[in-house]
Amino acid sequence: MDPEIESILASSGRNGGQFWARTDGNIHAPAGFSTLDVLNTLGDLGVKYTDSDVIIEAIDFLFTYYQPDGCFRYNVKSSKLPCITASILTACGRLGYWNERLEACYRRFLETQEDDGGWRCNTVKLGKSPVTDASNPGTTLYVLDAFLYRENSADEMRQLERGVRFLLDHWDSRVPLGPCQFGIGSTFLKPEYPMLRYNILYYCYVLSKYRAAIPDKRFREAVEVLKTKVTDGNLMNENPHRAWSHYSFARKGAASEPAAKKYVEILESCR
């Protein structure tokens, strides 16, 4: 096994709790190197859940937060946020793990899509303002990523394409939307790996997997912006989370091999 992967696995107690969780059991914090962040990153680096007992046990740990209505909490008292459930679905998908309880999560997302095509949490009630009432672009990106690891029917794909259009519309407006106010500004336009936050690399990568996005001029514009981040043939990792800074694939201002692979996949989709 790659030494850096071994190092990540060996650090499972670094935040004081089990499997990169905090001492209070929070799997969403600390930001950047939480349980959810680490499992998503390991999966994206090509690790499978069967490769390590630590990952198998970590997934079992995640399911202690599972709710029968198709949601996950991030600690025993937290709200049931769609971004958390989507992140867990994506982590399981990247790691090659499947459990029939995950299907209830997918069904819930299909049943709770907003009128604008995206997904939002209910921590801020509707009626505050049109901008706040909108879906969260970041959450919508995470949900669309999660559905890449499921066989979706033609009708479901048409439904998911509404989420694609919502994200493409956000490229036009760029305003901070939703309760968490995800916007498109200078930080968004800096590629970052690992792909954990709403940013141009993650945005282009997920949309490149949906055929409805490929011919859209807004997707093409985003890809052209991403191309400007290439130096000497290498996509520069401009804004990786500092929690990963000592790993070779996440150095700021340097080329990242896994990010480069994502970039190549994006370009191939545009042909």
Of all residues in the chain, the percent with pLDDT exceeding 70 is 99
| Residue 24 pLDDT level (bands cut at 50, 70, 90) | very high
Whole-angstrom CA distances from 188 to 76, 96, 103, 108, 239 are 32, 29, 31, 29, 9
User: What mean pLDDT is predicted for residues 190-217?
Assistant: 97
Tell me the C-alpha distance between 205 and 37, whole Å: 18
For the stretch 227-250, pLDDT in tens is: 999 998 899 999 999 999 999 999
Domain boundaries defined on the chain: 1-112, 114-184, 185-271
32 φψ region: left (φ > 0), alpha (ψ -120 to 50), beta (else): left
Listed residue (124, 173, 121) closest to 142, CA to CA: 121
Per-residue pLDDT at 1 exceeds 90: no
For the stretch 53-110, pLDDT in tens is: 999 999 999 999 999 999 999 988 777 899 999 999 999 999 999 999 999 999 999 9
User: What mean pLDDT is predicted for residues 145-152?
Assistant: 98
